[in-house]
Structure 1
Amino acid sequence: MTISSTRPGRARPVGLTASAAAVVLLASACGSTGSGASAAPKDFSYLSVVENTAVKTTLTTLSQGACTTQNTALPLKVDTVPQTGLDQKLQLLAGQGALPVQFAAGNAPALTNQLFKSGKVANLEDELTKLGVYDQLQPAAVSTIQALYEGKLAVLPYEYNIEGIFFNKKLFAEHGLSTPKTWDELVATAGKLQDAGVQPFAASGQQGWPLTRLISGYLYRSLGPNAMEHIANGTAKLTDPEYVAAAAKVADLGKKGFFGQGVGSIDYDTAMNQFLNGKAGMFYMGSWALSNIADAKQNTVGTENVGFMPFPAVAGGKGSIDQYPSNVGLPIALNSKSFDKKTGEWVKCIAQNYGSTALKDQGTISGFKVNTPVPDKNAVTKQVRETIDASKQNVLWFEALFSTKATTVSQSNAASLVTGSTSPEKFMQLVQDAQAGQ
């Protein structure tokens, strides 16, 4: 997904004003008795985000191929909204009883969880079981969804991603660098790249989340796989010394200049281009970037020169290097009120065909099984797929269990953390206060 999240998943930031308005809208949404979406749908409406082209492209391909019959009965109709306005749009539609048949889930799981509790989001474990296609989901993707959505299968995994650090193998070879296994080695590698005139990391400070994921990465390695769960359940605070220490480690990367100039104004696409054009040696990102890497027009360094490594170990830490952060991108929820027979036929076709189509056409990995064998486009895609298959325990990301407000505060202040205008202590205090005030 070009942005992602969250999607996000690559979660994307929304403004504080929008977040505050969202609280009011959600209250009306959960109390609404609107009937706009209760009638049988006239089309297979899908609300996506402008930044995501992968999912709608795959659905369009299915509508013209494997799911032609379903599309004839219930035509696919795609609408988009900028990701920064997604939460507000969903809550407005929910309050009007006008949610589309399927829609990109909110930037924070908290929104979808509340819509699920209010009966507006379909229980997909029940629906897919009735359709006989529950087994078409990858168990790892189901586990990740349940961890995000309070044990419920509230969304479909149109993407399934693990996260780590992509690196430029050619640059590493030219400067005699080996793949770092520990945090100290990673910092040393970044320093050598910088000394050689190469920007060590590409990152989007404008999005914020590519930076905060470095914080959670350090926390999972230092404190173990339950580090962020302890914040969510209140047994620990972000202001505790060991949590502030993680923010300080990431802030230090910025202090050393490892993110280059003007990181706060760098958007997602620019950061991606910096890496794919050979201007940065490393890029923390999710496996959704494989579609960009496979695109020769975007990737001028060549797929053969892109490697992938896990977030490094922290000396004396309780976490393991093979515990990969995972997400389901910006997943898709379905309106419970419009989940009729025709919708069910569409969903059944998607479950059986989406995995193969997305991998074949775009090189993207979903949480659906690949029923038609597809050769890997390149070595790094093969490596990531094998890593996913072998993964035994995955973790989430920094904001995964935060409220919408805390997610916004975290991502909107990430750039100031690495540029030094906000101290690690202040950054963690701001996010902790936002989380406590949910």
Structure 2
Amino acid sequence: MITNSSAARRARLAGMTASAAAMVVLVSACGGTGGGSTASPKNFSYLSVTENTTVKTALTTLSKGACRTANEDLPLKVETVPQSGLDQKLQLLAGQNALPVQFAAGNAPALTQQLARSGHVADLEKELKKLGVYDQLQPAAVSTIKALYGGKVEVLPYEYNIEGIFYNKRIFTDNDLDVPGTWAELVAASAKLEGKGIQPFSASGQQGWPLTRLISGYLYRSLGPDALQDVADGKAKLTDPQYVKAAQEIADLGRKGYFGKGVGSIDYDTAMNQFLTGKAAMFYMGSWALANIADEKQNTLGADNVGFMPFPAVAGGKGAVDQYPSNVGLGITLGAKSFDSRTGDWVSCITKNYGATALKDQGVISGFKVNGEVKDATAVTGQVRETISSSKRNVLWFEALFSTKATTVSQTNAAGLVNGSLSPQKFMQTVQDALSAK
């Protein structure tokens, strides 16, 4: 079971990784002829980030169990670095042709793609197909990875999160509410709850991204899965009327008081607590929250009283409710030149066994298939796993394709959008200006 602190770290890592996803990284150290890790490695060396203990723990378990044979031939060796220093460390090692066999792939896809172009990253789709284990990756995870990494599988999905709306089943039942299938139904349900003195939504305005992801949710349902790619490609602007409308819809939720009082000062942990103690009926969040939901000390509702629904459909919209915003946390990849037969044995074993090990021991959902019988910690965990297994095409999040500057501008102004101090037009103009800045 994940501890409270590690669950919070994973949640923040997901938010941090999401925020860094479009960061422009200068990788001058990775120039030159395509190097990579040294051939014939002596260890299954793995460079991780200090903040993430999940993968290290699971790999250690596998090295003593299902992957014992692979570990005897190529012993697991883990080194860690603070996430804030990861990019610099990778660039240094790449410049020295000294990257480890496996490594956390940088805070932004841009860095991994640069390393791949320089010959430092293995072609994982090709390698996994050669090993006959490509089918051990969930199709939804593959879709997300390719969306982030230019159509290529450049990382493995040691973590896989989808996002949606968690809701309090008891509150819905007591107030004769069905699960909303459309945006209009969601707004109507919120109005009914507010009228009865029940806060409809819990959200962290202090972090910002839980609010901006409601904007992207509306955009994906109204304009379709390419809505934000079109902005990145210059085919559309956030100031276009249909984009401003999405911001207006979320601003209206705030104007009507549906996020409660003082949303701008609410941090992540407080927002989580509001929902898990029954003070709010709904909570937009990623599946990393399942760890909190399964924790009886945090969740006084009881896990059986928590449900999960997709962001609802928008009338006349081009998107589909089975297109879930998703991410793979901090991606992990493998060096190109150190990918020999012994590395392949490790990778084969990981793809077949990691999913079950991480879920059983730590309650973590990965992008690998879960082989064998593993009991879900809660019914909603099983629901989310089933959703992931059946999903074929997922989408990203509001800032996924933004620059670092635009990401910061978006998230720091989100509270102003919902508390009324910033108009939807001004919010979108401010973010678009940051995107357009050279």
| TM range, smaller chain | 0.7 to 0.9
Report Cα offsets for 1:377-427 as digits up to 9, x if no partner. Answer: 332122222323333442222222333443343333333333334332233
Query: Does 1:59 pair with 2:65?
Result: no
Aligned to 1:114: 114
What is the CA deviation profile of residues 34-56 of structure 1, one whole-angstrom value per residue up to 9, with x for unaligned ones?
98954736452232251x44333
What residue in structure 2 maps to residue 45 of structure 1?
46
1:94/1:378 Cα in 2 relative to 1: closer, same or farther (>3 Å)? same
Distance in structure 1 (CA, Å) of the matches to 2:89 and 2:269: 24
**Closer, same or farther: CA 179–3 of 1 in aligned 2, 3 Å:** farther
Matching residue of 1:198: 198
**Distance (Å, rounded) in 2 between the aligned partners of 1:192 and 1:213:** 23
Q: Write the distance in 2 (CA, Å) between the matches of 1:421 and 1:34.
A: 51
Q: Tell me the distance in 2 between the aligned counterparts of 1:42 and 1:206.
A: 43
SS at match of 1:143: helix
Aligned to 2:212: 212
Question: Partner residue of 1:249?
Answer: 249
How far does residue 435 in structure 1 lie from its aligned partner after superposition?
2.9
Alignment check: 8 A CA contact 1:5 1:107 kept: no
Could you tell me how far 1:353 is from its partner in structure 2? 0.5
What are the equivalent positions in structure 2 for 1:211-360 lying under 5 Å apart? 211-360=211-360
**Aligned CA-pair RMSD:** 3.1
Distance of aligned partners of 1:114 and 1:405 in 2 relative to their CA distance in 1, 3 Å threshold: farther
Instruction: Tell me how far 1:5 sits from its aligned partner.
Output: 7.5
Please state whether the residue corresponding to 1:199 is helix, strand or coil: coil
The answer (yes or no) to whether the contact 1:108–1:402 under 8 Å persists in 2 is no
Judge conservation of contact 2:351–2:368 (CA < 8 Å) in 1: yes
Give aligned-pair identity as a percent.
Answer: 69
Please tell me whether the aligned partners of residues 214 and 250 of structure 1 are also in contact (alpha carbons under 8 angstroms): yes
Structure 2 residues without counterparts, runs of 5 or longer: 1-6
Higher mean displacement: 100-109 or 117-126: 100-109
> For residues 292-339 of structure 1, what are the alpha-carbon distances to aligned partners after superposition, in whole Å with 9 as ceiling and x for unaligned?
222323322111100011111222322222322233233212233544
Mapped pair 1:428 → 2:428: yes
Superposed CA deviations along residues 88-140 of structure 1, whole A, max 9, x for unmatched, are 66556556655544333344433322332233322211222333322222223
SS at match of 2:355: helix
Q: Which amino acid aligns with 1:45?
A: Y
Asked if the contact 2:206/2:265 (under 8 Å) is kept, the reply is yes
Question: Are residues 433 and 89 of structure 1, via their aligned partners in 2, closer, same or farther at CA, if it must alter by over 3 Å?
Answer: farther
Q: How does 1:342-421 map to 2 (within 5 A)?
A: 342-421=342-421
Q: Deviations over 1:320-375 (max 9, x none)?
A: 22322233233212233544454433222211110111222233322212221223
Q: Which amino acid aligns with 2:389?
A: D
User: Per-residue deviation at 1:10?
Assistant: 6.7
CA contact (8 A) 1:253 1:259 kept: yes
- Asked if 1:11 is matched to 2:12, the reply is no
Q: Describe how 1:50-89 pairs up with structure 2 within 5 A.
A: 50=51, 52-72=52-72, 73-82=74-83, 87=87
Alpha-carbon contact 2:247-2:424 (below 8 Å) kept = yes
User: What is the rounded CA distance, in whole Å, between the counterparts of 1:151 and 1:220 in structure 2?
Assistant: 20
Instruction: Flag structure 1 segments of 5+ consecutive residues without an equivalent.
Output: none
- CA deviation string 1:192-213 (max 9, x = no partner): 3334443322223343322221
* Contact 1:201/1:258, CA 8 A, preserved across alignment: yes
* Structure 2 CA distance for aligned equivalents of residues 311 and 420 of structure 1: 23
Report if the CA contact (8 A) 2:131-2:344 is conserved. yes
Runs of 4+ in 1 over 4 A off after TM superposition: 3-7, 32-37, 84-100
Measure how far apart 1:270 and its partner are. Answer: 3.3
What residue number does 1:170 align with? Answer: 170
Structure 1 pair 230/35, CA: closer, same or farther in 2 (3 Å)? closer
Length-normalised TM-score, structure 1? 0.86
- What is the CA distance between 1:167 and its match in structure 2? 0.5
Contact 1:133/1:348 (<8 A) preserved = yes
Q: Matches of 1:157 and 1:200 in 2, distance apart?
A: 33
**1:275 CA displacement:** 1.9
Aligned residues: 430
What letter corresponds to residue 28 of structure 2 in structure 1? S
Does structure 2 conserve the Cα–Cα contact (< 8 Å) formed by 1:108 and 1:407? no
With the length of structure 2 as denominator, give the TM-score of the two structures.
0.86
Rounded Cα–Cα distance in structure 2 between residues aligned with 1:425 and 1:91? 40
Show the counterpart of 1:140: 140
- What SS does the aligned partner of 1:173 have? helix
* 1:215 aligned counterpart, secondary structure: helix
The 1-side partners of 2:206 and 2:34 are apart by: 37
Change (3 A) 1:133 1:318: closer
Q: Distance in 2 between matches of 1:210 and 1:189?
A: 20
2:4 aligned partner = none
Seen in structure 2, the aligned counterparts of structure 1 residues 238 and 100 have a Cα distance that, compared at 3 Å, is: farther
